[in-house]
Structure 1
Amino acid sequence: MKEPIRVLQVLGTTGLGGAESRVMDLYRNIDRERVQFDFAVHTSKKGYFDEEIEALGGHIYRLPRFQVYNWIPYRAAWRSFLKEHSEYACVHGHMTSTASIYLPEAKRAKIALTAAHARSAGTEDGVKGMMTKWMRKNLWKKTDVCLACSKLAGKAVFGEKAWAQGAVHVVPNAIEVDKFSYNGQMRAQMRQKLELGNCLTVGHVGRFNEMKNHLFLLEVFAQIKKSRSDAQLILLGEGGCMEPAKQKAAELGITESVQFLGNQGNPQDYYQAMDLFIFPSLYEGLPGTVLEAQAAGLPCLMSDTITQEVALTELVESKSLKDSAESWAQAALALLERQKERFDRMPEIRKAGFDAKEQAKEMEAFYRTGKGDGLWNR
């Protein structure tokens, strides 16, 4: 049997982040007898998906973390790595902050296809954010293909000029839809496990960092409790902003009503336990969690900074972050009242092109031919 082509996926980590989860959804569903993934990450720490990657036949390589001052050693590390591993049919870079360094090195190593993939529509504040924007300047001219999870992310990472010239192609952030379909039996099991009883259960899934806006989420929940004293909040995720979030919950007097559940390998089960999903991010590319929540039949209230491309059903409503927490709470409860019936939303999500099984076929063709007509000519 002919050996599969190999594709190098470039990420920061192999943890439970959005980009990582979407790449793994693709990896599980692609024909691995024809296309096999390896991963280049920028950490020495073991990631959540490491064991699964190796079980699926992938290799994990560790590159140094870019810290500006090590620009030359960073480029040299990539040059050395790609000289030794020039067997790749494609280098697919999801880490666009340094893609302007490693993708040209891939071309130098005579790798046939390079792709830069915009996964976020914003950057951090301060010097780091300014440096990221500077390093992305003209990235679209340094890669063979520009991919983005949304129009907003494509413009943010590659620029208005690249978008206007048709250089950026939007590829849906596909998920394994079947996993998240509403399941009444699992809902009962999870609510019992989490001791939720008949309480109104608000949920959120996301890494604890500034962009996810957990402190405002807690303020909104505190207002919800004023109307629904039985309300409970379950939070999945980890990160540096978890402790400030716990302190905020204490200040608001809602600690007993908030469950900080950390990272969970089966988030699909936790969506079943929720009644309402609130997602007040400062910015996003196209959040897979909002897709997952819709697949589970959950009403979703999200910030209007998030692209409407993620709103595949009438379950999703947007609200300005300039509005008060009280106003958000009222909107959330009104949305819940309008969306009382919960049922399978998989057909709508599949029709919109967000099913990982179908996207895997299209990405296989892209990796093998360099053409993605099935992906972006929708």
Structure 2
Amino acid sequence: MGEPIRVLHVVTYMGRGGLETMIMNYYRNIDRNKVQFDFLTHRDERWDYDDEIEALGGKIYHLPRLNPFSPKYLKALDNFFKDHKEYRIVHCHQDCMSGIVLKYAKKNGVPFTIAHSHSSNQNKNLKYIIKLIAKRSIPKYADYLFACGTEAGRWMFNTDNFTVLNNAIDTKKYIYNEERALDMRRKLGIEDKFVIGHVGRFRHEKNHSFIIDIFREVCKKEPNSNLFLVGDGPLEEEIKKKVYDLKLEDKVKFLGSRNDVYDLMQAMDVFILPSLYEGIPMTMIESQASGLNCIISDKVPKECIVTDNVKCISLDESNSYWAEEIIKSKNTIRKNLYNEIQDAKLDINSNAIWLQKFYLNNMAKGDLAWQNSQYLHQHTIEHIY
């Protein structure tokens, strides 16, 4: 057997966020004798998945922070692709800024480029207008457009000409098991608690401040409640201060970035996601696979709802209303939802096979032949199933 083809994934860093976890799910389940992943990152420090990437045979390269106005950054980007002619497939996960990276990949002869959208909006900060302008260049430099869901693809690419690559999971890890759940609750010291869970980085779009407001109302009605916040991020200290100011520090558990989310979900009673916007959140697939009741905002794409366990609530509803709906989940009997996740085509095994074929066929057939193939570039939104 010859050497595997090496696909370069371009990311900000490989921390334990949604898009990074999605890439790792594919990386772990692809045949690495045929396809290997390498990573071009935009941070110097090491992150959560770096050790695993290197153990799986991947290489990690570092560039300065992505800044389209920085001559230093653009020169470093240009030099990288000049120095690494071995990459024939570049898969870019830089959302609105993907066109910047792919422009230099194309300039240096990379034949196959992919822009991958993971979000259906962006924070309305000072960079927002720049991002809206930057994303217009993506179709010019990307041979293929991928998105985690329909809303994310339409928002990023302003077209229906893209392919949905599922945010798939290793379903068996998440399936609810009562004995395992009781064991986790014992280990966490929460045998008699009503546990509300949230998994997500502490960023604006995840709406953590609202989560704390809701939880405060829950505690008025159910004093024996705990809130698990899994993740890290730039707003973590701000949220910790709010929890302290509201005297909820004994009830809110900041669990940090974890590699055992599937075990933590066994111990939860309900999962909440009152986001301001999302792509297709990986945590929604995971929590449904775990048999959890999920209470989500009306800003989370409906595409992620694949079981009957999900209640969607407007962000305009009161904190008290959200709390009442959450409390209704108390004492719900958890079910094994393996078949539902399989039927929704969200298990990683079949999805990894598809992506592997996509990479290999691109290499084997050439650009023109592949563009005319059955997989991509139909003039409608195309899911991989």
TM-score by length of 1: 0.94
Matched, 1:213 2:207: yes
Contact 1:118/1:148, CA 8 A, preserved across alignment: yes
Which runs of structure 2 are paired with 1:355-366 in the superposition (5 Å)? 355-366=347-358
Using the TM superposition, give the Cα deviation of residue 377 of structure 1 relative to its aligned residue in structure 2, in angstroms: 4.8
After superposition, give the CA deviation of every residue in 1:251-286 in whole Å (9 maximum; x if it has no partner). Answer: 333221111111111111100000000111111101
Match of 2:307 among 292, 295, 313: 313
Matches within 5 A, 1:1-378: 1-70=1-70, 72-159=71-158, 162-163=159-160, 167-334=161-328, 336=329, 340-370=332-362, 373=375, 376-378=383-385
What is the Cα deviation at residue 342 of structure 1? Answer: 0.8
Report the Cα distance in structure 2 between the residues aligned to 1:231 and 1:126, rounded to whole angstroms.
35
1:169-194 per-position Cα deviation (integer Å, ceiling 9, x unaligned) = 11111111111111222212221121
Number of equivalences: 370
Superposed structure 1 runs of 4+ greater than 3 Å apart: none
| Aligned AA (1:210) | H
Gaps of 5+ in 2: 363-369, 377-381
CA distance in 2 between partners of 1:27 and 1:68 (Å): 29
Q: TM-score, normalized by length of structure 2?
A: 0.93
Mapped partners of 1:313, 1:124: distance in 2: 29
Distance 1:129 1:135 in 2: 10
- 1:278-298 per-residue CA deviation (whole Å, 9 max, x = no partner) reads 111111101000110111110
1:30-80 Cα distance to aligned partner (Å, 9 max, x none): 00000000000000010111110001000000011123431x332222221
SS in 1 for 2:250: helix
CA distance in 1, matches of 2:10, 2:354: 20
Letter in 1 for 2:265: Y
Cα distance in structure 2, aligned partners of 1:109 and 1:368: 21
Identity of aligned pairs, percent? 37
Unaligned runs of 5+ in 1: none
Q: Is the 8 A contact 1:89 1:368 kept in 2?
A: no
Say if 2:164 and 2:384, in contact at 8 Å, map to a contact too: no
How has the CA–CA distance of structure 1 residues 25 and 302 changed in structure 2, closer, same or farther, with 3 Å as cutoff? Answer: same
Q: Which amino acid aligns with 1:238?
A: D
Q: CA RMSD in A?
A: 1.6
1-structure distance, mates of 2:136, 2:313: 31
How many angstroms apart in 2 are the aligned matches of 1:98 and 1:212?
Answer: 21
- CA contact under 8 A between 2:106 and 2:141: conserved in structure 1? no
